[in-house]
């Protein structure tokens, strides 16, 4: 259990570093797509360094007129 926790924490730290190298922290996310991309990049962790470049797209409903 302890080793699993350490591996998960290291995985997320590596993902956070990858997001930083892609300059995702320079400005806050402006929409759900950008926020999703940052989160998926962090969760993908070391896979980012093996060529994975996750992108998320989402559409929010427009207010009625």
| 18-60 per-position pLDDT tens digit | 888 888 888 877 778 788 888 888 888 888 788 877 777 777 7
Classify burial at 45, counting beta carbons within 10 Å of its beta carbon; exposed 0-12, middle 13-18, buried 19 or more.
buried
Altogether, the residues listed in the chain come to a count of 65
Taking Cα atoms as reference points, which of 34, 42, 39, 37 lies closest to residue 14?
A: 42
pTM greater than 0.75 (yes/no): no
Domain boundaries, the chain: 2-50
């Amino acid at each position: 259990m302890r080793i699993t926790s350490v591996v998960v924490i290291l995985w997320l730290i590596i993902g956070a570093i990858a997001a930083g190298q892609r300059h995702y922290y320079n400005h806050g996310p402006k929409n759900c797509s950008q926020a999703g991309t940052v989160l998926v990049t962090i969760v993908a962790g070391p896979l980012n360094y093996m060529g994975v470049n996750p992108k998320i797209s989402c559409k929010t409903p427009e207010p009625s007129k």
